Amino acid sequence: MQILEGVKDPEVPVLSVVELGVVRNVAFEKEQVVIQITPTYSGCPALKVMQDEIVSALKENGFPDVRVDIVYAPAWTTDWIGDAAREKLRRYGIAPPQANAADEIVNISSGSRPVPCPMCNSLDTQVQSQFGSTACKALHLCRSCKQPFEHFKVF
C-alpha cells in the first residue's frame, strides 16, 4: 500500500491511486501480487498509465511478479476520496467534490449546490461547463475573485 501511495494520478498529480479510490484490492497469489483497480470514467485515458506505473513502482520495490486486474463493480465514486485527499485537492487549486454522490436525479436543470472557490472560498461561483480538461473535472468561474477554476465533479 505504501508503494502504491507513491503512484500518482497522471492527471491530478497531488493524489495517489489509493487516495483516488482507484485501487480496490491488493492480494498475494503465491509469489504474485494481484492488484485490482477500477476506472474512474470509462473513457479515462489515464487508466493505462496508472496500470503501467503501478507495475513499475512495485518492480522497483522488489515485487517483480505483478498482475493488475481491472474490475468494474462497484462502480467508482468520488465518495471514496477521503477528507485529507479532498483538502489536498483544494490546496492544489481544484475544488474537491462535495460530500455525497447521492445519485443525482435526472433533472433538466442542474441547479445544485454552489461550489466554493478553492482560491478565496467564495460561494458566489457559477458553472461554465460540466466538462473540463479531463473527464473528472468541470469548469467553474468565481464571481468574487474573478478566477476560473476546476471542480472535481461529484460522481
* Binding-site size, other proteins (CB under 8 A): 28
Cell numbers representing residue 105 in the block:
436525479
Place of cell 479532498: 86
Is 129 an interacting residue with respect to other proteins (CB under 8 A)? yes
- Which cell goes with 134? 479531463
E strand residue ranges, the chain: 8-9, 12-16, 23-29, 32-37, 66-70, 94-95, 125-129, 137-142, 148-152
Of residues 1, 73, 84, 102, which one binds other proteins by CB under 8 A?
73
Interaction of residue 2 with other proteins, rule CB under 8 A:
no
For other proteins, which residue of 23, 44, 46, 115 counts as binding (CB under 8 A)? 44
What whole-number distance in Å separates Cα of residue 105 and Cα of residue 102? 9
Buried b (16+ CB within 10 A) or exposed e, 85-94: bbebbbeeeb
- Pick from 60, 133, 146, 148 the residue near other proteins by CB under 8 A: 133
Q: Does 34 participate in binding other proteins (rule CB under 8 A)?
A: no
Nearer to other proteins, 76 or 88 (CB): 76
Peptide bond into 45 cis (omega under 30): no
43 binds other proteins, rule: CB under 8 A: yes
**Shortest Cβ 16–other proteins spacing (Å):** 22
Binding residues vs other proteins (CB under 8 A): 39, 41-45, 71-76, 103-104, 106-110, 128-133, 135, 139, 155
